[in-house]
Structure 1
Amino acid sequence: MESQQPQQEDPQLESSLDSNQQRISGIWENIMAFLHDLLDIRQDSDRDETIESVKKDISFQGHNAWILIFSVFVASIGLYADSTAVVIGAMLISPLMGPIVGMGLGTAINDDTMLRRSWTNLLVMVVLSLFTATLYFVIMPTIAFDDMTPELKARTYPTILDVSIAIFGGLALIVAKAKKGTISNAIAGVAIATALMPPLCTAGYGIAILNISVFSGAMYLFCINTVFIALATFLVCKLLRFPMVKYANQAKRKRVSRLASLIGLLVLLPSIYLFYELYKDQVKESAANTFINQYVDYEGMRPDADWNGETQTLDVVMVGAPVPDPIIEEWTKKFAQIEELEESQVRFYQGSSILNASNEAVEVVQEELIDKLRLIQDKDVRIAALEDELRRLNEQNKNFDVVSEEVRLNYPQVASISYAPSVSKDFITQQMDTVSEYTILFKDTTLSTDRRVEIKKRMASWLQYRLKTNKIQINEIKRSLTTAMDSVKVSAP
């Protein structure tokens, strides 16, 4: 039997594999080094300067108090006048973010003094802002709840987008503050994005009109922005390992540390809950819109849907052709089968036959839609009339181009010709009449008067035949130092 000898590995192949592995490892290390240099913020962060900067912004006395009052007035005016630019200007000058960042930083570095100062100053700022905004809306002519401007309505209930803006805005703010040489443009941008001032002014409006839903919704939005900005500050400061405050008394250090941890937990848990609840509402609203787009479809009918997040109800008004009850029942079953809408309900409104609703609501909606349709039809009629007039003018211009060329060939004595319709009114008969006026200029200034009259009469007769109308008038202008219209007018017989 022949003995089987183990095959020896090719040393060149092994060397090539090792070389490729080293190259791949080198590429990966270069990528990781590039990403580290690109995204690392620890080396360029000045922790001590950041802490001092935040401490300075916490203070709320003198100038900051007046700046806050003036920014509240500016924001209230913008909300009242529905001016986005004015509201943005108020957010830029508002000093509200200082104490909020101080709360997050004080919790992160275990500084109870900073934490107490931040809480106190924020409370004073909120009370002063609410008082100023309420005073403004009480003095100004009252805006009814149903007539609220879009700027006011946008601040009465938070959405998942508001939470996302507060989180990323807070992260951008503390990262900008931590950088050596604070990035003022970034801080100004965060002030606009997080929108702390407008909700407070809207809450003041709610107090002025004694509407608890407006007040609570606006304060809810303000609290969400405040909590998530403070939470973002806390997380970044922990990530950057800001130095903890040291206490000579060991017992006090532990007490303060426990208090800071408790506050951080109290901020974190409600934040997670609020984020989850708002996320669920957003998912349900999106599912309701998808249901309308995919299933509610019937020839000759147009649905008008409205989702109510508080009652978890989708109201669908069906305008146009009546939809048979079996189809509506099928749509209702489809709605119940959607997982995201299990605890919600749908109500269909149709003409005089209403499911779970009153006749008056449907009639109001139908009248509004009919008014909108009439307005659209009136606009369509006006547009069609203007298009017809434009086509008529274009046709006249084309006809004049042909006529002027024929005049040039048939009447070599004429140097130029112009055209314009002339509208006249007879006061006795009260009738309107339109005459086509053609104005010509002769080349030869020495041409006799009789010859001129003859040419104009012949041209008038020719145009009358050419254009199939007897309302033709030929005028003449003469070359002179001051060109004037000839008083002699020749009309077609």
Structure 2
Amino acid sequence: MRDAVFFEGDRVRSQHTRFWLLLILAAAIATAGVAADSTATVIGAMIVAPLMRPIQGTMLATVLGDRKQLTRSILIMCAGALAAIAVGFILGLLLVQPMTAASNAQVAGRVSPGLIDLFAALATGVVGSIALVRSDISDTLPGVAIAISLVPPLCVVGLTLESGAWTQALGALLLFVTNVAAILATGAIVMAIYGYSKLRLLEVEDKEAERRRRVRVYLTTATMVLLVSGPLAWTTAKAIADSGRIATVQNYLDDLTEDTRWAVVSVVPREDDKIYAVVKGTPPLPDIDQVYAEMDDAGLDVEHIVLEFIPSYTFDVNGERDNF
């Protein structure tokens, strides 16, 4: 396990070279995949990315009480994360269109993590830790790399920072921190179940001090998970609330435009906490003041609803025009 996750031994230089080469390439591939909205390309970057190694190294060094490797793994993990963000930011400078959740589905899927992402990360972390302990199931590691998704969120951080979307960048960074916390927490539990946490206890003379250290480690790991759970719970609750608001507005506008020359195209929330409803049809426009007055009478929060009307005409081969 030390050979699998630590940067040490006679080949430490080649280990570092391999790590940084693969990380930069994986970040470039992930950024390109996000910009092109290509799920297959992003998955390829997940498989190439080597960032799981220093994260699991941090976990194993913590369990074994190896301070030297703990410091080294944390530094490599943080430096690798910053490098991936930098690659995303630099490549974002080459793009004409801003990369935000409103314009890119890959970005949108990574800037609003919820509790379900934490549950998925915990389950994936368990699989990754067991694969580290048991070589007979190590063939699951590519699947773990795809499921845990470490580099793509960091590239999204860089892209959204370059686009000026600071809130979305924080959301993508939260997803990465959630995945890291899940790997550390589940790794410590798996190591304890398999008995590896006892190795350090057998080596030290002051066993009571080692037990206290282990308690601090577990408390720190649990605190990390709880800290990320708070923002994740908030985003989950907000997503549920937004879904309820959207459904209410959607249903009302569908009923309002039924048997008219207008139809609802989309109803979506925006970062300004407003709901934007796009309606398409044939002019003339309805009385907007009356529409808002009726929505207000129906109990809708009209202060947070923006209506966008798009004129639409349909022509056939004979040049005859009709409403859409």
Quote the offset at 1:291 in angstroms. 6.0
Residue 238, structure 1, aligned to residue 198, structure 2 = no
C-alpha contact 1:88 1:192 (8 A) present in aligned 2: yes
Distance 1:324 1:164, change over 3 A: same
Tell me the equivalent position of 1:54: 5
Supply the AA of the counterpart residue of 1:331. G
For residue 236 of structure 2, the aligned residue among 261, 282, 295 is 282
Equivalents in 2 of 1:230, 1:331: separation in Å?
Answer: 47
Supply the AA of the counterpart residue of 1:208. E
Tell me the equivalent position of 1:153: 108
Tell me the equivalent position of 1:396: none
Residue 198, structure 1, aligned to residue 152, structure 2 = yes
Supply the AA of the counterpart residue of 2:54. P
Distance 1:176 1:126, change over 3 A: same
C-alpha contact 1:112 1:260 (8 A) present in aligned 2: no
Quote the offset at 1:91 in angstroms. 0.7
Distance 1:161 1:187, change over 3 A: same
For residue 366 of structure 1, the aligned residue among 303, 306, 309 is 309
C-alpha contact 1:96 1:122 (8 A) present in aligned 2: yes
Quote the offset at 1:96 in angstroms. 0.4
Distance 1:260 1:66, change over 3 A: farther
C-alpha contact 2:174 2:228 (8 A) present in aligned 1: no
Residue 173, structure 1, aligned to residue 125, structure 2 = no
Supply the AA of the counterpart residue of 1:125. G
Residue 130, structure 1, aligned to residue 85, structure 2 = yes
Quote the offset at 1:173 in angstroms. 0.9
Tell me the equivalent position of 1:300: 256
Tell me the equivalent position of 2:28: 73
Quote the offset at 1:125 in angstroms. 1.4
Q: Deviations over 1:122-151 (max 9, x none)?
A: 12212332333333333x234325674322
Task: Trace 1:237-276 onto structure 2 (pairs within 5 A).
Answer: 237-242=191-196, 243-246=198-201, 250=205, 258-276=212-230
Where relative contact order (Cα < 8 A, 6+ residues apart) is larger, the structure is 2
Tell me the equivalent position of 2:282: none
Quote the offset at 1:79 in angstroms. 1.6
Equivalents in 2 of 1:328, 1:95: separation in Å?
Answer: 54
C-alpha contact 1:96 1:125 (8 A) present in aligned 2: yes
Tell me the equivalent position of 2:283: none
Supply the AA of the counterpart residue of 1:54. V
Q: Deviations over 1:294-339 (max 9, x none)?
A: 795474337754446x77x56374967966857744535xxxxxxx
Task: Trace 1:465-480 onto structure 2 (pairs within 5 A).
Answer: none
Residue 300 of structure 1 aligns to a residue whose secondary structure is: helix
Q: Name the % identity.
A: 20
Residue 366 of structure 1 aligns to a residue whose secondary structure is: strand
For residue 212 of structure 1, the aligned residue among 166, 177, 183 is 166
Q: Deviations over 1:168-196 (max 9, x none)?
A: 11111112222243422x11011011110
For residue 275 of structure 2, the aligned residue among 285, 296, 315 is 315
By percentage of residues, which structure has more strand?
1
C-alpha contact 1:72 1:201 (8 A) present in aligned 2: yes
Tell me the equivalent position of 2:117: 162
Residue 6 of structure 2 aligns to a residue whose secondary structure is: helix
Quote the offset at 1:61 in angstroms. 0.7
Distance 1:331 1:276, change over 3 A: same
Equivalents in 1 of 2:103, 2:111: separation in Å?
Answer: 11
Distance 1:324 1:86, change over 3 A: closer
Quote the offset at 1:88 in angstroms. 0.8
Aligned residues: 296
Residue 136 of structure 2 aligns to a residue whose secondary structure is: coil
**For the aligned residues, what is the CA RMSD?**
3.6
C-alpha contact 1:306 1:316 (8 A) present in aligned 2: yes
Equivalents in 1 of 2:201, 2:68: separation in Å?
Answer: 12
Equivalents in 2 of 1:161, 1:259: separation in Å?
Answer: 31
TM-score, normalised with respect to structure 1: 0.52
Supply the AA of the counterpart residue of 2:184. A
Quote the offset at 1:93 in angstroms. 0.9
Residue 93, structure 1, aligned to residue 36, structure 2 = no
Quote the offset at 1:257 in angstroms. 5.2
By percentage of residues, which structure has more helix?
2
Equivalents in 1 of 2:298, 2:113: separation in Å?
Answer: 34
Tell me the equivalent position of 1:390: none
